[in-house]
């Protein structure tokens, strides 16, 4: 790795100690979100373009942080505006996922600067196109975000050089995959969609993996993030 990578800037022992501390149940619970506004806490002074540089591990971590910001903001808004025909099970689903996504976001917000990296700013989000009183719209957006998040982690893992960071990313993406399966079951109960052929290759049994540039293009196409995101050094 280069001198700016986590293993060089933090040192193997201190990096391992930090990841063990915040990666455990107690550490993650301490980072849990206690509440945020309807925009998920996004700021109003974000630059027009945020560049994610994959030349070292910090760019990959910031990429994950950007995606977790979007997911956390969406679920914070959804739980503050539950649709009228929400069942108790669905309500608990959204509350649980909102907590998970907030923890993931806050993990990266803490870990990146603690390991010596530069944290990207808060992103600007726009959920005005979503009718949060409409179950179908909320669930379809949740499905889109979860499927995108899983494929994004799968596609970015190859760029992480530090095996300890890769292990943490693997733990997070496994949770994201549980989210994706759950929301897919809510969209189409009693079906095989929780692990449908559109996300799991029936020949290999492997999940979809999407390159970072394609993920960012897909995110931009949704219009949910108004901050322009770019990625460099991904070859």
Q: Delimit the domains of the chain by residue range.
A: 51-232
CATH superfamily of 51-232: Ferritin, core subunit, four-helix bundle (1.20.1260.10)
pLDDT at 48: 81
pLDDT over 90 percentage in the chain: 74
Q: Region 116-131: what's the mean pLDDT?
A: 95
pLDDT at 89: 85
- Residues paired with residue 225 on neighbouring β-strands, in sequence order: 125
Tokens 């530069």 belong to residue: 118
Q: In angstroms, rounded to a whole number, what is the distance separating the alpha carbons of residues 168 and 231? A: 22
Q: How confident is the model at residue 207 (pLDDT cuts 50, 70, 90)?
A: very high
* Residue 127 CB partners (closer than 8 Å, separation 6+): 39, 73, 74, 77, 224
Q: In angstroms, rounded to a whole number, what is the distance separating the alpha carbons of residues 68 and 100? A: 10
The β-bridge relationship of strands 49-53 and 228-232 is: parallel
Residue 22, pLDDT above cutoff 60: no
Query: Is the pTM for the entire model greater than 0.75?
Result: yes
Q: What's the pLDDT tens digit per position in 25-40? A: 434 444 433 333 334 4
* 219-226: Cβ within 8 A, 24+ apart: 219/67, 219/70, 219/148, 222/144, 223/126, 223/129, 224/70, 224/74, 224/125, 224/126, 224/127, 224/129, 224/141, 225/66, 225/70, 225/123, 225/124, 225/125, 225/126, 226/124, 226/125, 226/126
Residue 98, pLDDT above cutoff 60: yes
Residue 77, pLDDT above cutoff 50: yes
Whether 76 and 36 have beta carbons less than 8 Å apart is answered as yes
């Amino acid at each position: 790795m280069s001198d700016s990578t986590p293993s060089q800037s933090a040192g193997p022992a201190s990096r391992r100690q930090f990841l063990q501390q915040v990666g455990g149940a107690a550490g993650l619970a301490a980072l849990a979100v206690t509440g945020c506004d309807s925009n998920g806490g996004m700021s109003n002074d974000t630059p027009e373009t945020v560049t994610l540089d994959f030349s070292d591990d910090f760019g990959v971590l910031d990429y994950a942080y950007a995606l977790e910001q979007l997911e956390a903001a969406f679920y914070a808004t959804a739980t503050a505006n539950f649709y009228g025909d929400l069942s108790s099970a669905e309500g608990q689903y959204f509350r649980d996922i909102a907590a998970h996504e907030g923890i993931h976001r806050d993990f990266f917000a803490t870990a990146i600067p603690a390991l010596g990296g530069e944290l990207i700013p808060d992103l600007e989000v726009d959920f005005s196109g979503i009718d949060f009183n409409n179950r179908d719209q909320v669930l379809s957006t949740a499905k889109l975000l979860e499927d995108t998040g899983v494929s994004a982690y799968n596609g970015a893992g190859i760029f992480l050089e530090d095996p300890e960071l890769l292990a943490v990313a693997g733990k997070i993406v496994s949770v994201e995959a549980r989210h994706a399966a759950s929301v897919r079951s809510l969209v189409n109960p009693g079906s095989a969609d929780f692990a449908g052929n559109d996300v799991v290759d029936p020949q290999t049994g492997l999940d979809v993996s999407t390159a970072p540039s394609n993920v960012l293009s897909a995110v931009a196409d949704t219009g949910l993030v108004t901050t322009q995101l770019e990625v460099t050094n991904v070859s």
